[in-house]
Amino acid sequence: MEKDQPTRSYEFELKDWPGLKANQAWSLLEGRALKQSYTDATGHENQRWVELGEQGVQHYAAEHPFDVSTAVNAMPQITRNREELIRYLENGQQVPTHWKHEGQFQNIFVQADPANNNLKLFDTKGKPITAEQLSQRAKQRSVVKKPEMPAQRLRKGVKNGHQY
């Protein structure tokens, strides 16, 4: 709901969504994907990525693998406990973290993007941003020079028999 008007809705049949939690439903309604456990036609327990798109539920089958762990490890600039980050991303959350480049830290948000086999990055205002743009911003910040301190005049003298 936004301004008392529904912006997005979906009726979840709980039999099709075993173990679905309220925060996961919220993530789906906000357009984020999550990793769902399900029982396939042969009775085996499997996992797949799922999200709500314009045409309803979008399931990503095993033929469309997305390993969030590989995507996270491909971006070492993201500073956060890796196991915790992966767990949150697989749960459909948009995770606050930091981007570290050349000693500069920037606040960002990260979410899983199985449709494109990568991670989506967002700035502090929630606007999409690329890794290249984040690194460029960090370079620009590191170029800003610190004001130079004027050289102090050295005073030589003798006090109490000691030279200073």
pLDDT of residue 32: 94
122/41 Cα distance (integer angstroms): 38
Would you state the pLDDT for residue 20?
86
Q: Are 81 and 16 in contact (CB under 8 A)?
A: no
Residue 153 is predicted with a pLDDT of 56
**How far is 46 from 18, CA to CA, in rounded Å?**
12
Query: Of 154, 58, 153, whose CA–CA distance to 113 is shortest?
Result: 58
pLDDT value of residue 76: 93
- Per-residue confidence (pLDDT) for residue 85, from 0 to 100: 97
DSSP E strands in the chain: the ranges are 34-39, 45-53, 56-60, 78-79, 95-101, 104-113, 118-122, 128-129, 158-159, 162-163
What integer pLDDT is reported at residue 56 of this predicted model?
A: 84
β-pairing, 162-163 with 158-159? Answer: antiparallel
Per-residue confidence (pLDDT) for residue 148, from 0 to 100: 55
Q: Backbone phi, then psi, for 3, in 5-degree steps?
A: 55, 45
The tens-digit pLDDT sequence of the chain (164 residues) is 668 877 777 888 877 787 888 999 899 999 899 998 877 788 888 888 999 888 888 888 767 789 999 999 999 999 999 999 999 999 999 999 999 988 889 999 999 999 999 999 999 999 999 999 998 888 887 765 555 555 555 556 666 666 65
